[in-house]
Amino acid sequence: MDAVRVSALRDRLAGTGWLEAAGAFGGALRRAVGRRGAEPLLLVGTERHEPWHLAAHLDDEAAWSGVPGLAPTLLRHHVPPGAPAHLGHGLTRLATARRGATLLVVAPERTDDPLLERLQDARRSGATLLALDTGDRELAGLAHERLTVPGAGGEPFDLVQHLVSTAAGAKPPGLLARLTAAPLSRW
C-alpha cells in the first residue's frame, strides 16, 4: 500500500480507535523482533489462509525501517514438493521456536487444534506469541499481545494488516514526544 493510500486510510479511521490499536500492536511486534538475541519473525496463518500479503508488507517495512527482524519467515500448513527455499518452511519449524522467537499468527477464521497445540508448545518454550484474529477465544488464551478485528475476515481484516505492518515499521516516538502526547482514550 503506497503512502497516499495509507494517509487516506488514516484520515478515514481517525477517531475510531483503530489507528491507536494497530499502532500499539505494531509497536509490540517491532519491540519483540528488535530485542537483543531475537530470532527471525515466524509468520503463520490458518489452514485456509496463508498471510502472503502481510509477509510482503513486513518484508518491505524491514528494509525501509532498518529493522531486519520484521522480515518474516512464512510458515505454511502444506509445503508443495519443490517449493523454493524461502517458501519451503512448514509448521514443523514451530517446534524449534524458543525464547527469543516471535510468532505472529494471522487468523481471519478459527485456528484449528493442531496449530493451537504447536503454538502452545512454542509459548511454553519461551516464544513470544502475537495474534491478529477475528475473535478466536482459544488463540486469545495463548497470545501475549493480540489485536482482534471483530466479525468475519475480508476487507476490514486486510486493512488492519496494512495498518499493523506500517506501524511496525514506524520509528517509535522519542521520549519527549511520549511525555507530551495526550493520553490515549480507550474505547
Cell numbers placing 131: 495474534
Q: Contacts from 86-92 at CB under 8 Å and sequence distance 24+? A: 91/44, 91/115, 91/118
In terms of pTM, does the model score above 0.75?
Answer: yes
Q: What is the pLDDT of residues 77-106, one digit of tens each?
A: 999 999 888 889 999 999 999 999 999 999
In angstroms, the CA 87 to CA 82 distance is 10
Can you read off the three cell numbers belonging to residue 161? Answer: 494488516
Q: What are phi and psi of 136, to 5 degrees?
A: -70, 110
> Is it the case that residue 27 has pLDDT exceeding 90?
yes
Q: What tens digit of pLDDT does each residue of 147-178 get?
A: 999 876 667 888 889 889 999 999 876 554 54
Query: Domains of the chain, with CATH numbers?
Result: 40-171 (3.40.50.10490)
